[in-house]
Amino acid sequence: MKMIIFPFLATLFLSSGHFGKNVTTGKFSDTLAEDVKNETLRTWSTYTEYAWPHDGLLPISKTYHDWYSQSLNMSPIDAYSTLKVMGLDNEANRIENFVIDSLNFNKDIFVKLFEVDIRILGGLLNIYEMSGNEKVLKKAQDFADRLLPAFNSPTGLPYFYVNLKTGATKGNIVNVAEAGSYIFEFGILSYYTKNPKYYQTAKKATKEIFSRRSTIDLLGRDIDVVTGKWTYTQSMVGAYADSYFEYLYKTWLLFKDPEIKKIWDVSIKAIQKHIAEPRKNGLWYGKVDMNTGEKVNSEVMLWDAYFPALLVLSGDMERAKKADDAWDFLWNKYGLIHMVYDYTKDTVINPFYQLNPEAIESAYYLWHYTGDSLYYNRVKKYYTDTKKYCRTEVAYSHVENVLTMKKKDEMETFFIAENMKYFYLTFSKNPPVNPEEYVFNTEAHPFKKSNFKATEVNKRLGFK
Ligand code: DMJ
Measured CA to CA, the distance from residue 126 to residue 252 in angstroms comes to 19
Strand partners, 448: 438
HSE, CB side, 13 Å, CA atoms: give it for residue 66: 11
Work out which ligand 1 atom sits closest to the CA atom of 354.
Answer: 11
Mean pLDDT on 409-420:
98
24: pLDDT strictly greater than 90: no
Give me the amino acid identity at 264: W
122: pLDDT strictly greater than 70: yes
Q: What is the pLDDT of residues 134-162, one digit of tens each?
A: 999 999 999 999 999 999 999 999 999 99
The SS3 call for residue 182 is coil
10: pLDDT strictly greater than 90: no
**Residue 418 CA, ligand 1 centroid: distance in Å:** 9
By mean pLDDT, which of 18-27, 92-101, 235-244, 429-438 is the weakest?
Answer: 18-27
In this structure, the residues whose C-beta lies within 6 A of any atom of ligand 1 are 118, 242-243, 303, 356-358, 414, 442-443
By mean pLDDT, which of 14-23, 61-70, 342-351 is the weakest?
Answer: 14-23
Give 30's pLDDT tier (boundaries 50, 70, 90): confident
Measured CA to CA, the distance from residue 407 to residue 21 in angstroms comes to 39
**Strand order, beta sheet including 287-289:** 234-235, 287-289, 295-297
Indicate the Cα dihedral angle 67, 71, 77, 82, nearest 10°. 50
Q: Structural domain boundaries of the chain?
A: 105-275+430-464
Residues of the chain above pLDDT 90, percent: 93
Q: What is the pLDDT of residues 261-314, one digit of tens each?
A: 999 999 999 999 999 999 999 999 999 999 999 999 999 999 999 999 999 999
Q: Which mutation among 356, 360, 440 tests ligand 1's pocket best, with the greatest number of atoms within 8 A of CB?
A: 356
In this prediction, residue 459 carries a pLDDT of: 98
Q: Which mutation among 237, 355, 443 tests ligand 1's pocket best, with the greatest number of atoms within 8 A of CB?
A: 443
| Average pLDDT value for the chain | 94
**Could you say which DSSP state residue 450 is in?**
G
HSE, CB side, 13 Å, CA atoms: give it for residue 145: 11
Residue closest to 334 by CA, chosen among 297, 380, 382, 367: 382
In this prediction, residue 1 carries a pLDDT of: 35
In this prediction, residue 2 carries a pLDDT of: 34
Q: Which mutation among 358, 362, 415 tests ligand 1's pocket best, with the greatest number of atoms within 8 A of CB?
A: 358
Q: What is the pLDDT of residues 236-260, one digit of tens each?
A: 999 999 999 999 999 999 999 999 9
Contact between residue 87 and residue 23 where contact means Cβ atoms under 8 Å apart: yes
Q: What is the pLDDT of residues 162-216, one digit of tens each?
A: 999 999 999 999 999 999 999 999 999 999 999 999 999 999 999 999 999 999 9
Contact between residue 314 and residue 249 where contact means Cβ atoms under 8 Å apart: yes
Strand locations in 183-265 (E): 222-224, 230-232, 234-235
**Residue 176 CA, ligand 1 centroid: distance in Å:** 14
Measured CA to CA, the distance from residue 164 to residue 147 in angstroms comes to 7
In this prediction, residue 186 carries a pLDDT of: 99
In this prediction, residue 4 carries a pLDDT of: 38
Instruction: Write down the architecture of domain 105-275+430-464 according to CATH.
Output: Alpha/alpha barrel (1.50)
14: pLDDT strictly greater than 60: no
| Helix, strand, coil distribution of the chain in percent, nearest 5 | 50, 15, 35
Cα dihedral 212, 287, 177, 246 sign: positive
Q: What is the pTM of this model?
A: 0.93
In this prediction, residue 464 carries a pLDDT of: 87
Residues of the chain above pLDDT 70, percent: 94
222: pLDDT strictly greater than 90: yes
Measured CA to CA, the distance from residue 100 to residue 118 in angstroms comes to 20
**Residue 442 CA, ligand 1 centroid: distance in Å:** 6
* Atom 1 of ligand 1, nearest CA residue: 443
**Residue 119 CA, ligand 1 centroid: distance in Å:** 9
Work out which ligand 1 atom sits closest to the CA atom of 239.
Answer: 7
